[in-house]
Structure 1
Amino acid sequence: MTRGEAGIDTMAPAEAARVREAEQRASAAAVGVESVEFLDHRDGVIEEGVALRRDLAAAIRRHRPDLVVTLNHHDTWGRNWWNTPDHRAVGRATLDAAGDAGNRWIFTDLAEAGLEPWSGVRWVAVAGSPEPTHAVEVGEEDVERAVASLAEHRAYITALSDKDPVAYAREVVTGAMDEIAGRTDGRRAVAFQLYPRG
């Protein structure tokens, strides 16, 4: 949704946007993603509403997925860990946009621009939800790819922590997976709150 320009306190927004865009592309490449699209909303001040839903509906119409993965839209990550306004807004708007993408009477300008309605989204999976409904078991190779992907956010991680980026990434990734393992008979997994559509 953004280029992360407000995410590093010690770096001016224009430079942070350049660095974080490069880190996001490298992170995606580490897990085999070849195309990353930035929708250029302002980092830290994303507003939930029609403009956000329209941009997300356009992306869904462009890519025509049957599964959409989004951010945690709940107020917290669970317990007392408050979620960020951007995450909440994007998560909620994505849930709405999955329906908007298939409605030919909403955002008619998108169809006029060649983005025909797409009602093929069957599931929206919310990552990081404090209320997971499904888990996908992962193997050691998956864990290593996830660690490598997150570690690509070196400048961001360095601004957050004194830890080595790979050590930090391993702690975050394995911590989240191990927490879910308590619900999956000890097997590491990635959890989602899954919303069926249609």
Structure 2
Amino acid sequence: MSEKTEQTLPALAPMPGDWRRALAVVAHPDDLEYGCAAAIAHWTDGGREVAYLLATRGEAGIDTLDPVACAPVREAEQRASAAVVGVESVEFLDHRDGVIEYGLGLRRDIAAAIRRHRPELVIGFNHRDTWSPEPGGPWNTPDHVAVGRATLDAVGDAGNRWIFPELTEQGLEPWNGVRWVAVAGSTSPTHAVSAEPGMERGIESLLCHRAYIEALTDREPEEYVREFLTGFAARTGERFGGVPAVSFELYPR
């Protein structure tokens, strides 16, 4: 990114604070912990309720571990990770890791969860093709794109009784109470929340994914995690008054 581009990036606005319930929807265990967990720790400390919904159990994420053996390991790591930041509800949809398909089934599953949890804020994950706003940036994974896009669409589906009427028949009444969708890891962030109050628990939360991290890097896990999370928060903070922060792209409803 050029110096000129950095200088013209707009400041990030504070995230809305007038909500009580959130549902975070991602593809894999560890997606929320790579940066967003510090914000979630801060929110749950303030008495807000956050639930997690994962499309897969991350069973294809460790090359040296067969998916049948990997799934329970990664599920256990995710539940422990969520507990560190005050999240009690962790649900898995059992779509296949690595080959999630955007479509009606995925939209229906997410819409059903939104109707069950009835959140005011839905937290999603980067649904764009790359991890950078610059041309030639690192390519995103198909799972992230599919789940991220389906999450945006499912918010509307959850509020319309004539889309997926079988959900109403199952006792899941429409929910039109989502006020915002906040996309973590976005290449075009608009808002942020301070990472400082929840940073240490964010680090501990990501460290719960030890089997995954040890397969991902040869570095000492705590050194790797701390450097990654604090460095990312510091860079985000350059657009948030110098305060280390977690950024989101906010879609008002």
Q: Which TM-score bucket, shorter chain as reference?
A: over 0.9
Identity of aligned residues (%): 68
AA of the residue aligned to 1:92 = R
| Alignment counterpart, residue 117 of structure 1, candidates 147, 155, 174 | 174
Matches within 5 A, 1:18-167: 18-78=72-132, 79=134, 80-139=137-196, 141-167=197-223
2:50 aligned partner: none
Most deviating of 93-102 and 183-192: 183-192
Query: By percentage of residues, which structure has more helix?
Result: 1
By how many angstroms is 1:165 displaced? 2.0
Match of 2:75, SS state, is helix
Match of 2:91, SS state, is coil
By how many angstroms is 1:111 displaced? 0.6
Looking at structure 1, the residues matched to 88 and 94 of structure 2 have their Cα atoms a distance apart, in angstroms, of 19
| Alignment counterpart, residue 225 of structure 2, candidates 159, 169, 176 | 169
Query: By percentage of residues, which structure has more strand?
Result: 2
Which structure is richer in relative contact order (CA contacts within 8 A, separation 6 or more)?
2
By how many angstroms is 1:91 displaced? 0.5
Give me the CA root mean square deviation.
Answer: 0.9
Q: Is 1:151–1:168's contact at 8 Å kept on the other side of the alignment?
A: no
Q: Please list every run of at least 4 consecutive aligned residues from structure 1 whose deviation after the TM superposition is greater than 3 angstroms.
A: none
TM-score by length of 2: 0.76
Structure 2 unaligned blocks of 5 or more:
1-54
By how many angstroms is 1:137 displaced? 1.6
By how many angstroms is 1:35 displaced? 1.3
Number of equivalenced pairs: 196
2:42 aligned partner: none
TM-score by length of 1: 0.97
